[in-house]
Every structure is written in structure tokens, then in C-alpha cells.
Amino acid sequence: MLKVKDKEFEPYLSEERLDVRVKALGRMLSQDYDGKSPLVLGILNGAFMFLSDLMKEVSVPLEVSFIKIASYEAMKSTGNVQELVGLKEDVQDRHIIIVEDIVDTGRSMEHLKGLLQAKSPASIAVVSLLLKPEALLTEVAVDYVGFEIPNKFVVGYGLDYDGYGRNLREIYQLK
């Protein structure tokens, strides 16, 4: 049992399981991007630990950068607007690999892909460590999935609960 702030969590994905799966994803990317010089875009903050481990398992030299999705409440009529922050690289004609911690409803990823697609990359692939199939509300394609998990809140290995727990080596599930 682990307490993060006011909530109790229990171990869900061990360091060993994460390690085995991250290595497998790294091998897939190494094969699929051989000779392609991709640009990897990690989504901050959640993907930082996964991305760091994953990149060490990819044998192809590639470019790594980080972006943030900023959400803000605009006018009531338009609802929650999301904006891409920190993209300095020219993505036109590049092979883009988005690295994300978790795809839940898929709305963030769908929106992000749309924003990047408008910049005419050669291709876009999505790598997400976690996917909650039961929570998906969009048809966004996630090309590489670490683990499909039930619709329960998780923390650790980059993922936070109210800002805390990103440092944990394992992934914990809300009790």
C-alpha cells in the first residue's frame, strides 16, 4: 500500500514488467525506423521517465525533443482549448514519433495529432506506455502500446496524482 497525498494506491506494474515491455517497444521502434532519422516528441510532464528509458533501447540515432499541451478555459462556448507549447523543430517532411504516458479518452492525443498533421510531417506515430480501452471516446490510433489497463487511476513512473508520485519506479493503481 502506498499513500500519495490523501489517496491510497496499490502496486500494479512492477519495475521488471515495465522494463521488459519498454525494451520490447524499443526493439520495435529500432526496426520500424531504421534509416529514417525520426523526430521523437515527448509530452511533458508525464512521459519523461518512460521516454528516457525507451530512448536507451532504440538503436537508431534520432532527435529527441519535448512539448507540452497547455489547456486553458477560453470562452464558455468553446470550452477547453488546448495549445501546443515548445515545438521549435520544423516537422515538415519528418517522421514524428509522439511519446505519451497514457491515453485515456484519447481527446488530448487526437487534438495533438491534428495540430502536428497541419504542419505536414512525413508520418506521425504514437507510442503510449498505457492505454485505457474502456475510457476511449475517440478513434485515435495508438501505434505502439505498452500496456492496456482497466479504467482506474494510476500513478508513478512519470504519472502524477495532483503533482506527486512521478518519481516512483513502479506504477500503482488507486485502491
User: Beta strands 2-4 and 7-13: pairing type?
Assistant: antiparallel
When binding is defined by CB under 5 A, the residue of 21, 160, 170, 174 that contacts Mg ion is 160
Instruction: Please identify which residue in 58, 98, 142, 155 interacts with ligand 5GP, judged by CB under 6 A.
Output: 155
Return the residue of 22, 101, 111, 157 that touches Mg ion, per CB under 5 A. Answer: 101
CA angle 1, 6, 49 (to 5 degrees): 65
Inter-CA distances, 97 with 36, 49, 100, 114, 125, Å: 11, 16, 10, 14, 5
Pick the stretch among 28-36, 72-80, 86-94, 153-161 that binds ligand 5GP (CB under 6 A): 153-161
Angstrom distance (rounded) from CA 87 to CA 40: 11
Residues 42-81 that bind ligand 5GP (CB under 6 A): 46
**Residue 53 binding: pick among Mg ion, ligand 5GP, none (C-beta 5-8 Å cut-off by kind):** none
Which position among 104, 143, 160, 162 bears the catalytic label? 104
The alpha helices in 33-161, defined as continuous H runs, are 48-55, 107-117
For residue 162, what is its C-alpha cell? 495532483
Q: Quick check: 159 binds ligand 5GP (CB under 6 A)?
A: yes
Does 104 participate in catalysis according to the annotation? yes
Q: Which of residues 93-122 bind ligand 5GP (CB under 6 A)?
A: 101-109
How would you label 41-50 residue by residue, b for 16+ Cβ within 10 Å and e otherwise? bbbbebbbbb
Q: From the list Mg ion, ligand 5GP, none, which binds 156 (C-beta under 5 to 8 Å, kind-based)?
A: none
Size (the chain), residues: 175
Q: Which of residues 19-58 bind Mg ion (CB under 5 A)?
A: 46
Positions annotated as catalytic residues are 104
- Report the interface residues with ligand 5GP, using CB under 6 A: 46, 101-109, 153-155, 159-161
- Report the interface residues with Mg ion, using CB under 5 A: 46, 101, 160
